[in-house]
Amino acid sequence: MRNEEHRAEDFRRSEAWTPLSEFRYLEQAPPGSDFMFNANSFSGGERNRLFANLGGVDFATAALISGLDHKEDARSWAWIDLDGDGWLDVLLMGPQQPRFRVFRNRLSRWLPDHRSLRIHLEGGNASAEPSEEWSPRQPVGAVVTASWGERKRALLLSAGEGMAAQNQNMLHLGLGSHEGEVDLHVRWPSGRETRHSVSADEGVVHLREREEVAEP
């Protein structure tokens, strides 16, 4: 920021800036000590933000009530259903202490009638060699389009999101209070497509490329 010429001169040359000779971003433990690794903030103590999707119409700020609004830098995060209750929890990493945080999703206490599907995908390639016919066993890039009632949603299986992070190897589909069937259309990385119909009460669904009649 001090090198940005459009900034005011009194801002760039202010004595409030820490001299570079005294600046330490990373602090490491000397040999034999119990000092914990720590780092200064690169974000100026800005608090994290979290937005709740209001049915695809709008978003609401949910950082404060979620507990995710702490002021330490959030460098990396991932979704995971740690307790298998169908609600996604958050893992958060940062350079300050504590470096690793787990945020458990407790919405099941207030929304016990809400359902979700945890979708596990398995590509058809069962060998260690690449295949031009079948998708890899972990079919990164697969797209699942789900339809239930009057709603439709597309989910992408990705290898990771954000900085050096990888989500749980599954797709999570929130269904609200929907009861009945959910139609799933899978487009595999191989180009094949499969269609499945599952119950909203199943919870965990395993979809395998080879088990359905798939058209390339």
Q: Which pLDDT tens digit goes with each residue over 90-106?
A: 888 877 777 788 888 88
Q: Which pLDDT tens digit goes with each residue over 122-150?
A: 999 988 898 889 999 999 999 999 999 88
Beta strand pairing call for 89-93 and 76-80: antiparallel
Q: What number of other Cβ atoms are within 10 A of residue 149's Cβ?
A: 13
Hey, what domains does the chain have and what are their CATH numbers? 10-109 (no CATH), 115-211 (2.60.40)
Do 197 and 184 touch, CB atoms closer than 8 A?
Answer: yes
Distance CA 141, CA 193 (A): 13
Kindly state the average pLDDT of the residues 18-23: 52
Q: Give 212's pLDDT tier (boundaries 50, 70, 90).
A: low
Q: Which of 153, 74, 85 minimizes the C-alpha distance to 63?
A: 74
Distance CA 47, CA 150 (A): 37
Q: Which of 67, 77, 69, 66 minimizes the C-alpha distance to 99?
A: 77
Q: Is the pLDDT of residue 34 over 70?
A: no
Q: Which residue spans within the chain are E strands per DSSP?
A: 26-27, 38-39, 51-54, 58-61, 76-80, 89-93, 100-103, 115-122, 143-148, 151-156, 171-176, 181-187, 193-199, 204-208
Q: Give 25's pLDDT tier (boundaries 50, 70, 90).
A: very low
Q: Which pLDDT tens digit goes with each residue over 63-76?
A: 888 888 877 777 78
pLDDT of residue 57: 86
